[in-house]
Amino acid sequence: MAKCPGSAGFWENVIFVQEAALFLMYQVVMKRRGFMGQIAGSAVLGAAGVAAGQENQEAGALVTTPAVVMAPRPDGVEVVWAVSRLSRGRVEWKGDDGSTGTAAADRFGFVPQGDEILRVRLEGLAPGAGYQVRAITEAADGKSRHEGPWKKFRTLDPAGSATNFVIWNDTHQNEETIRKLHQLTPGGDFLLWNGDTCNDWHQEDWLVPTLLNPAGQDVSEGRPMLLVWGNHDVRGKWAYRVPEMVATPAGRPFYAFRSGPVAVICLHTGEDKPDDHPSFGGRVAFEGLRREQAAWMKEVIARPEFRDAPYRVVFCHIPLRWTKERKLETADYGNGNYDAFSRASRDAWHDVLVAWKTQVVISGHTHQPAWIPATDDFPYAQLVGGGPQPERATWIEGKAGATSLELVMKRLDGEIAERIEFKPLG
């Protein structure tokens, strides 16, 4: 039995030992399906296509998922939804102040169109204002048209005096957990999904229901969504398609924003083993991405809205610190072993995080909730969420105002696992 979080360890070891022989690959896929069932029981989206999100994909339906409101910014959002055939799309919006508009063109002058995914970027909205949006879809053959329901959201307000937000992590396609999280999660300025939405992307038809309609839920209702990539989100031969379905504020897998008094930097920690590990099949190249993020962060923290922010938070899927840290020279990636924390990311980013006076790094990955206070060597604290099974899952609620930033980690039964408070930086 693999020891790493989620299902990756077993798959990786089989590939490492047995190479890529076709017959053995077939056996691996069959075994992996069984392992995924063990991780999430009958709640996992399996290769047989038994997924709550797929119940929207009945024969003949033009639109197959809710319109997901993603990547909130002070001046807008991006709306992403799935269709069953070649279609054109647009987004209509209306503000609480009575303003209205339509977004119906992409950056190349085309009407947004596609045969699986439609994406529309809204721009020019007012910061910190309330809006509603709905997606309008028309089949390219002119035979079908769909008007989606209106959905509420607020644009980010960098100058606001307060903010509230929610964090999920490591849902791994567990439908029971996702439904409960959706039920418990209040509306807010944003929902940040802190990595490992899936077990892997070895089957292409897992992408749409997992990312845009997980467990049949409209997860961005009342809270626009942001995604931080986890190591499982980059696994499998179809992982390269995730950026088609997930919008980020600047179109990159790392980004920064200000929401009220909280400045946020979201980073991509990559995989939990070196890039050249045989299990990755030459598909990943995260060493360069870590260096790029380090250089980018130096520019970000010099901006006034980040340099002077009262609260400073970093989100990344793999922790930068852990409760038991083995030495680099003793790292062993055989027998299902993996990195519980990303030493490569920490080595690349530590100096910038210290210079910025980062207060806390919030992560997932280990499937073990943990709170690691700041020290002299590591002046940024580390908060880690739980795992995919309902009995191990957690969610984090953040509230910030003039006097404090409070983070409360809760289990699905309502028990409080951690309650942490930060005072504003001078």
Domain chopping of the chain, boundaries: 63-154, 163-422
CATH number of the structural domain 163-422: 3.60.21.10
- Of the chain, the percentage scoring pLDDT greater than 90 comes to 76
Instruction: Enter the pTM of the model.
Output: 0.85
Query: Looking at residue 310, what is its pLDDT?
Result: 98
- Of the chain, the percentage scoring pLDDT greater than 70 comes to 84
Query: Looking at residue 424, what is its pLDDT?
Result: 98
Query: Looking at residue 276, what is its pLDDT?
Result: 76
Phi and psi based region of residue 303 (left: phi greater than 0; alpha: psi -120 to 50; beta: remaining): beta
Which range, of 26-40, 70-84, 92-106, 323-337, averages the lowest pLDDT? Answer: 26-40
Residue ranges with strand state E in 252-292: 255-259, 262-266
Nearest to 202 by CA among 178, 232, 171, 176: 232
> Higher confidence at residue 109 or residue 157?
157
pLDDT tens for each residue of 347-385: 999 999 999 999 999 999 999 999 999 999 999 999 999
pLDDT tens for each residue of 189-198: 999 999 999 9
pLDDT tens for each residue of 268-325: 999 888 777 777 777 778 889 999 999 999 999 999 999 999 999 999 999 999 998 8
Contact 104, 62 (CB under 8 A): no
Spatial distance between the Cα atoms of 301 and 164, rounded to a whole number of angstroms:
22
Query: Looking at residue 184, what is its pLDDT?
Result: 96
Spatial distance between the Cα atoms of 91 and 2, rounded to a whole number of angstroms:
45
Query: Looking at residue 283, what is its pLDDT?
Result: 76
Domains 63-154 and 163-422 share a fold: no
Q: Pairing mode, if any, of strands 190-193 and 405-411?
A: unpaired
Split at pLDDT 50, 70, 90, the class of 330 is low
- Mean pLDDT score of the chain: 87
Query: Looking at residue 35, what is its pLDDT?
Result: 34
Residue 153, Cβ neighbours under 10 Å: how many?
A: 27
Contact 69, 120 (CB under 8 A): no
Spatial distance between the Cα atoms of 365 and 231, rounded to a whole number of angstroms:
8
pLDDT tens for each residue of 18-77: 333 333 333 333 333 333 333 444 344 443 333 434 444 444 699 999 999 999 999 999
Ordered alpha helix ranges (H), 201-328: 207-212, 242-245, 286-300, 304-307
Split at pLDDT 50, 70, 90, the class of 331 is low
The CATH-assigned architecture of domain 63-154 is Sandwich (2.60)
Q: Which phi and psi angles does 45 have, rounded to 5°?
A: -75, 105
